Amino acid sequence: MQSVAPSISQLGAPVQWSADTTEHAHIEVVKDPAASTNYHNFNSQICRYLDRVEKCRAFEMATRLSSVLRTSPDNTQDIPDSEVDSAADDVDNPSAGDEFSEEHPTAVLNDIWAPKCPVPNLFAIAETLLAAVLGSIPYPICTFTSGSTTFHLNYDPSIKRIAIDQAAEMFNIPDLRPAIADYLGREGLAQNFHSFGGQRCAGADAHLPFSEIQVWYKVHLQQKLYHNRTSVGQIFTINAHPADRTWKYGRCDTAILNIDEHHEWPSSSLTGHAVVEVCLIMRPLSPRGRKILWDDRFLVYA
């Protein structure tokens, strides 16, 4: 306090050292102009944009259907014989009716809502890879069919090599090692369907013929259409992603798993199936200088 009075006489009025002027300038020049822009409230802006896009698509569908129905002939009118003959010609020559089919309401809906990119046929790809000459394609085959479902994984895994215990810690699966030990010890390659659930028999320090695995964060699936078994459906993606900055608790999608070899979708409905959470997609790696029987198997912890 003894230096306050001399400082006032030397420095002058304290108000000249106030930051109020700078703060007001910052408010007027920076804060107020920024508040009047759209660089804030991003969530509400995104929702509003998506809502308007959906309304525009619905409006386009309604107007196009309305125009098609107005230009379509009345169903109660008599159809001239010439049109009947023309329709018969269209049966013999399908390309002749393309112009009419493009104006049909169903075609209009397909043009609006159908995906713009063609859907790949994973079943055909799996058959081609299965019939390929040994050594001409990468090993193991990453597109394969099991029952009524085709699976596709990227050739390059998300994690090329990781220790089992490290993967258990990363994906928060403390019983990963005993689960793999039970799989190999109780059933192994003896059958394709393995007991689901139940108590672990192996210990936490169970010995395994391998110590490292490859990991995939997602797998693609495709099935045949329910009402038309000759056509393929859309491709679905199942994620099994560990926790990171984007996914605080990880991203583990749910799926319907076939657990009984005597039942198959869709003939058996959901009998013999279970709803599971896919936590890890992996493939065992043979130790260096050795080859194990399980290195061509893709395993899932659910």
Beta strands in 179-279 (DSSP E): 212-216, 218-223, 236-241, 251-252, 254-258, 273-277
Q: Which helix (H) or strand (E) holds 301?
A: strand 299-301
Task: Report pLDDT for 163.
Answer: 92
pTM value is: 0.60
pLDDT computed for residue 239 by the predictor:
92
Percent helix, strand, coil in the chain (nearest 5)?
A: 40, 20, 45
Instruction: Return left, alpha or beta for 233; rule: phi > 0 is left, psi -120 to 50 is alpha, else beta.
Output: beta
d(CA 277, CA 273): 13
Q: Which helix (H) or strand (E) covers residue 44, if one does?
A: helix 42-71
Pairing verdict, β 299-301 and 280-285? antiparallel
- What pLDDT sits at residue 79? 39
Tell me the residue ranges of DSSP E strands in 137-201: 143-146, 149-152, 159-163
Could you tell me if 251 and 228 are in contact, meaning their C-beta atoms sit under 8 angstroms apart? no
The size of the chain, in residues, is: 302
How far, in Å, CA of 128 to CA of 143, rounded? 10
pLDDT score recorded for residue 107:
64
Each residue's pLDDT tens digit, 201-232: 777 778 888 888 999 999 999 888 877 777 88
Residue-level pLDDT, tens digit, the chain, 302 residues = 556 666 666 666 666 666 677 777 778 877 777 777 777 778 888 888 899 999 998 888 888 777 776 665 544 444 344 443 443 344 344 444 444 455 565 666 666 666 667 888 888 888 888 888 877 787 888 888 887 888 999 888 999 999 999 999 999 988 888 888 888 876 655 555 555 566 667 777 788 888 889 999 999 998 888 777 778 888 889 999 998 888 888 889 888 887 777 777 777 777 888 888 899 999 888 888 777 777 778 888 88
CA distance 121 to 232: 7
Rg of the chain over Cα atoms, rounded to whole angstroms, equals 32
pLDDT at 116: 66
pLDDT of residue 130: 84
pLDDT of 281:
92
Question: Rounded distance, CA 20 to CA 74, Å?
Answer: 78
State the pLDDT at residue 76.
Answer: 40
* Residues in Cβ contact with 193 at an 8 Å cutoff, skipping those fewer than 6 apart: 258, 259, 260, 261
Give the integer Cα–Cα distance in Å for 133 and 233. 29
What is residue 15's predicted lDDT score, i.e. its pLDDT? 61
Q: First-to-last CA distance in the chain? A: 71
